[in-house]
A and B are shown apart, each in its own frame.
Chain A
Amino acid sequence: MDVTLSVNGVSRTASVEPRITLADVLRDELGLTGTHVGCEHGVCGACTVLLDGRSVRSCLLFAVQAAGQEVTTVEGLAAADGTLHPLQKAFHDAHGLQCGFCTPGFLMAARELLDENPSPTESEVRTWLSGNLCRCTGYQNIVDAVLLAAERMRGAP
């Protein structure tokens, strides 16, 4: 069956079986391989994307469930001219990534956080991000990156 979604602001249609996950459609049908799959059972958060602004695990969702909705993936985070989103910039500056596999999921989860709460405390950031696993960084620089991005975004006019 055909599924039409809006992905990063562009309407996309893919022909899929009902049992295909959103993650697989994004990656294999639409070529958006920035969304990663680390566990396929909803725990690691690597596959996190935003669905109408709310973070979801794209490994647990069938593509058909997202029909007609607005999906934002890591590829949609930077500006059209390539300028990095403040979160991306802060992850770079604070060394918030090593292998980078978990990173798209953290970026999307953090973006939802900052959309809701522009001034989170360190402990709020840690709690919010506790649904995402990273095996490389020990989280410290990820947390610092999110706090740094929040600060910079608040500072912007």
Chain B
Amino acid sequence: MTTRLFGERVARSEDRRLLTGRGRYTGDFEPAAAHAAFVRSDFAHARITGIDVAAAQAVPGVLDVFTYADLADGFADRLPLLVPSDKLIAPRTQHALAKDEACYAGEVLAMVVARDRYVAEDALERIVVEYEPLPAAVDLDRAAGPNAPLAHLDMTDNLAGLVTEETGDVDAAFAAAPHVYDWTLRMERSASMPIETRGVVARYDEREDRLLVHDATQAPTGVRFGLAMLFGMDPDRVHVVAPDVGGGFGVKVIQFYPEEVLVPWAARRLGVPVKWIEDRREHFLGSNHERGQIHHVHVGAADDGRILALEDRFLHDTGAYCSYGLILPIITAAQLPGPYDLENYRYELRSIFTNTVPTSPFRGAGRPHAAYVMERVIERVSKELNLDSLDVRRRNFVKEFPHHVGVTFQDGGPTVYDSGDYPKGLATLLEQLDLERTRTEIATARAEGRTVGLGFGAYVEGTGIGPYEGASVSINPDGTVSVATAHGSQGQAHETVFAQVVADELQVPFERVHVTTGDTRRLGFGVGTFASRTAVVAGNAVLLATTEVKRQAAAVAARILEVAPEDVVFADGAIHVAGAPDRSIPLGRLAMASNPTRYAFGADAEEGAKLSQLAYEGGDRPLPEGSHPGLAATEYYSPTSGVFGFGFHAALVEIDLETGHVDILRYVVHHDSGRIINPMVVEGQIHGGVAQGIGGALYERIAYGEEGQMLNATFMDFLMVTAAEMPRIEEVHTETPSPNNPLGIKGVGEAGTIPVSATIANAISDALNTPVDHMPVTPEEVLTLAGKIESP
């Protein structure tokens, strides 16, 4: 009997350990290790003229205190530039410990290693740093303008990089456009904020010359190779494990944060295991942020609302450093057109240094801004021309695939949408919403004096980018199947969905498939979990490796059963001859037979040896040409390009004009991420994404004072949504398979977040009948928009 788990709501294999308190997160390792703690710059911008560590050294329990002067070789260099680009004018990354200039409040200046964290923090207080404060570039607009304070002493302005690109003939299209508009749209800074902070635990075994690092990272493979190079160690002696990781959303993939280098360095230098678990304040001050952008759009429209020309000049706040190069604003620029066919589109992006925490992708990664800008443009054009914005959307949709957007994608290739059906997606959303009924309800509510509004948002999400991801699959003598992928997992259920793929292919029970992710001892080559790529890229690698193992198993079984490999069937954890189910061999036995040596105990040994004789003509003869012992394979999947999911959101909101509170009465989601491996997991990803989107639209904002001091570095002040604010999400989906990969899947990790700011902004705009051009829309902002209070 063939069973099929692909597409089923399979409950997760990860759950049991996590529900019973037996998960293993980075902070759970090495309870007796020494602890590191860091001195962080008090100033957003300052010369460091001296650091006196003597008093800290003297604190009982302190093992050592380090500053930049203690670092040598590669450790004294600037940390790597993760995404180089020839458009990067000033590729600045930070030192592991600041050398003589601190460029954001929170930058690490010195490290204490002590018996425990309590003692380490006592010692921190005794370290005296001499600062010479410098003017700080904080506000993005100001930093980009003339005579701005400089974020870096050795620069003459704050421009990190500049990219311009054009498709079509934008100037000619503007000249011919009957309606032309100019708008400015802003999105403020926010951050990933996983509930588990970052953490690194390192142990160096001198006799074995082996380094073992547990790191709450999304990309252990990169950390491993980087550390091996820094230490001049054979990569086989460096192991990096991302164990259970308590959420990532982008912030846990930098390669390298200073602590990821310094903790292993200290462990090796001091000869003791060293542990650092970030506290929440450190996370605010020392882990990357995202979002801050300012867009100036110039729009040319036809009478019927078609966008004839669009020019977007925008500023991107890269923070103090740019280890991610220009990738974020490039994603924004490439995905700005969304589901719309913009024949004439031009952008100019300027990435600007400020003396704030560096920025790097946070779920959505440049796309929430893109969707927000484009969807506000659609709404405003519709409003100006007195058209139904849904009609305007339909008129502008891309209708043929593959579709060339005409600008460069984040992977450096062209942006090409592989597949989609936007009219169907929108229709599916509207059906769930029941548009007519909803409009009637709104009219009734307004007649009662209530302030309600309906907003829409659309998005296209490039997912599943290369270069590659790998998987190794092996069938074990006990009939279980071991699967390993290299990237880390942070709650996306990779252990479950990959097991579904393998169980289907080999027809073994799901419970017998054991998946390990993020352990370089199991698979050393990989890229990482980000950009909604893992299910797509590693998932297809799992399929390839399983297919290869299947081929091997069929070959061995065919020799034993004396039939052609094409004539065997995989079923019920065994292989049998087609048409003769009783002539079968369990996969475990086959695994034993395929390793023609003698190792098993008891009856299994006897049976295995017998089968082995059959499979290998006597056992000690050379292996058949082209075969190798065991049933095991490692394969890599390298996609030719990204695959593009899409979707539409709708929000019905009611505004309290007394308090500025925005109550989301309904939130409806349509999404299409190609074929779905596990709908339950996909829904979960969407729920979480929408929640982060709603937080970003209404509450979350990292606030800096004029001097570059963060004003809200606690969970008391940086507000995230709780169960009480979240509406129940209504979710519908369509499945437009990707033609670009064997599984036909697309990534979904970021989909939920991308169009939420756009949707909520449009809903508030509809309710208050006023443009909403600044996100988030906090209660204060709502009251300002409603004309209840003066703008601050």
A interface list, Cβ under 8 A from B: 17, 19-20, 27-29, 31-41, 43-44, 46, 73-75, 77-78, 84, 88, 91-93, 95, 97-104, 107, 125-127, 129-143
Contact = CB atoms under 8 A, between A and B. Distances in A.
Contact of B491 (A17, A75, A100, A131): A100
5 nearest interchain CB pairs? A34-B21, A101-B246, A100-B18, A99-B491, A98-B491
Contacts of B14: 100
Contact of B20 (A27, A41, A74, A131): A74
B19 A103 contact: yes
Contacts, number: 183
Interface of B: 11-12, 14-16, 18-25, 27-28, 31-32, 118, 192-197, 244-247, 249, 277, 279-280, 490-493, 680-681, 683-684, 686-692, 714-716, 720-726, 728-729, 752
The interface centre, meaning the residue of B27, B244, B245 with most chain A CB atoms within 10 A of its CB, is B27
Given A33-B28, A99-B247, A44 B195 contact: yes
A36 B689 CA distance: 23
B490 A99 contact: yes
Given A17-B118, A136-B247, A84 B20 contact: yes
Contacts of A40: 279-280
Contact of B19 (A107, A133, A137): A107
A34 B20 contact: yes
Contacts of A130: 722-725
B249 A142 contact: no
B724 A127 contact: yes
A132 B723 CA distance: 8
- Interface centre among B681, B687, B725, by most chain A C-beta atoms within 10 angstroms, is B687
Contacts of B24: 33
Given A27-B28, A39-B715, A99-B194, A135 B688 contact: yes
B724 A126 contact: yes
Contacts of A107: 19
B687 A141 contact: yes
Contact of A101 (B247, B683, B689, B716): B247
Contacts of A33: 21, 24-25, 27-28
A32 B28 CA distance: 9
Contacts of B725: 130
Contacts of A39: 280, 714-715
A36 B25 contact: yes
A93 B11 contact: yes
Contacts of B689: 138
A135 B195 contact: yes
A135 B249 contact: yes
Contact of A92 (B12, B195, B196, B491): B12
Given A75-B21, A139-B691, A99 B196 contact: yes
B716 A88 contact: no
Given A129-B723, A133-B720, A35 B21 contact: yes
A140 B23 CA distance: 23
B245 A20 contact: no
Contacts of A37: 27, 277
B684 A41 contact: no
Contacts of A31: 31
A37 B277 CA distance: 10
A138 B279 CA distance: 23
A90 to B, nearest CB: 10
A116 B25 CA distance: 32
A141 to B, nearest CB: 6
Given A39-B280, A95-B681, A133-B715, A138 B19 contact: no
Contacts of B12: 92, 95
- Which of A91, A101, A141 has most B Cβ within 10 Å? A101
B690 A27 contact: no
Given A40-B280, A95-B11, A101 B196 contact: yes
Contact of A41 (B493, B690, B714, B724): B714
A38 B681 CA distance: 24
A40 B714 CA distance: 10
Nearest to B490: A99
Contacts of B280: 38-41, 44
A73 B195 CA distance: 19
Contact of B723 (A32, A99, A126): A126
Contacts of B23: 34, 100-101
Contacts of B686: 138
B678 to A, nearest CB: 9
6 contacts: A44-B715, A75-B20, A78-B20, A104-B21, A138-B691, A140-B728
Nearest to B19: A88
Given A27-B28, A99-B244, A34 B22 contact: yes
